Amino acid sequence: MRSPELGGSGDQPAVEFGGRAYTYDQLDRAIEEWIAGDSAPVYDASMLSVPDALICVCAAARRGVPVIVENPEARPDRPDIPSSAFLVVTTSGSTGRPRPLARTAASWFDSFSAFTAITGVEATDRVLITGPLHATMHLFGALHALWRGACVTDDPTRATVVHAVPAVLRDVVNKAPKLRTAIVAGIALDDGARAAADDIEIIEYYGSAEVSLVAARRVPEPLRLLDEVDAEIRDGLLYVRTPYSVLGTPEWFGVGDLAELGANRELTVRGRGESAINVGGTTVLAEDVERILGTLEGVAAVAVVGSPHAVLGEIVTAAVQLDGVGIDTVRAQARGLLMKEAMPRRWVPLPTLPRTASGKVARGQLKDLLA
């Protein structure tokens, strides 16, 4: 279960977060001190600060014991921890309550070389982490940075690389003058976030908490499956076979996304299968409508869901976070861009959209809110 050693050494900066700073030598000593002071069979980093959580996770890897990294406010029921587990994590909870997961160290660390080749992260980089570590994309980004010998930071003014969902990226680029690369995941990159980060390289990857990395691209190239990953489309839905999956998954895991496979292992993800809205026999994908509405003037954020309808079966409902315009103005703009079935029949202005810790829209909460 032991992870690869830290990628840096000596006085190289390793962590600069929350007003605390560690060189790689200092981080290495802190890890050894943690091991000496805690002989528990399972570590729990869930309620720790980011620096302490990273020390705890690295200590668990060295000792060969599991470490729990969960949202302390939404812990799932977990009957047991598999004996081969290293990371004990959860899904994001974007479509409901987070589900418990457990993975081996190899299921992440074995993908780090490929991730480095895709992202170009160097030992000289300062890698900005924009969310809590219990959101697995941020934990993955932080551990990869330490494996690479880079510095994990929360200071955007010094960051050269950032891990963020597209909604967060829009805000970060205005605060990070040295930013060279943005690594985005969680939801599909939208045109607004792409335009906001127009002068930096954007790496987008697709995956899930269950199967980790599946496909990646340098924008504007298409997504392509990683070399070690296979995929199939069954009834329009994506199934993945990968060495990077969590413990207990079947050989072929149904991710739940509508997708298409093209030449040269190109992958086009159309959105969550459950977000397909059947409007009078016409299938409307919520993500397609969101991408269009998100480009409209005065729309700060938008989420689309299906609502029951006595005649059509479902209609499109748009929850919209507005910025300086009225809903009638947004509706008028949308009318010329969306086909009749995709045009929202119900518009709900909200001061903010409910989000998970990683920044994704919490669709489960949103549906409850709109019910």
Query: Which segments in the chain show pLDDT lower than 70?
Result: 1-4, 93-97, 281
CA atoms within 13 A on the CB side of 335: 7
Residue 368 parent element (H or E): helix 363-370
Contact (Cβ atoms closer than 8 angstroms) between residue 93 and residue 209: no
Describe the strand order of the beta sheet including 67-68 as a list of residue ranges.
Answer: 43-44, 67-68, 87-90, 100-103
Nearest-angstrom CA–CA distance, 122 and 148: 7
Q: Where are the domains of the chain?
A: 13-223, 280-370
Q: Encode pLDDT of 174-188 as tens digits.
A: 999 999 999 998 777
Nearest-angstrom CA–CA distance, 149 and 41: 28
Both tokens of residue 308? 């029951």
At 50 the three-state DSSP class reads helix
Nearest-angstrom CA–CA distance, 156 and 173: 9
Residue matched to tokens 């809590």: 132
Nearest-angstrom CA–CA distance, 53 and 70: 11
Measuring CA to CA, which residue among 352, 354, 360 is closest to residue 138?
Answer: 360
Nearest-angstrom CA–CA distance, 274 and 233: 16
Q: Is the dihedral of CA 350, 355, 360, 362 positive or negative?
A: negative
**Strand pairing class (253-261; 267-272):** antiparallel
What integer pLDDT is reported at residue 369 of this predicted model? 87
Nearest-angstrom CA–CA distance, 60 and 45: 10
Measured CA to CA in angstroms, residue 43 lies from 25, 48, 338 at distances of: 23, 11, 51
What superfamily does domain 280-370 belong to in CATH? ANL, C-terminal domain (3.30.300.30)
Contact (Cβ atoms closer than 8 angstroms) between residue 275 and residue 237: no
Beta bridge partners of 320: 302, 349
CATH code of the domain made up of 13-223: 3.40.50.12780
Q: Does the predicted TM-score (pTM) go above 0.85?
A: no
Measuring CA to CA, which residue among 205, 182, 203, 84 is closest to residue 136?
Answer: 205
Contact (Cβ atoms closer than 8 angstroms) between residue 47 and residue 23: no
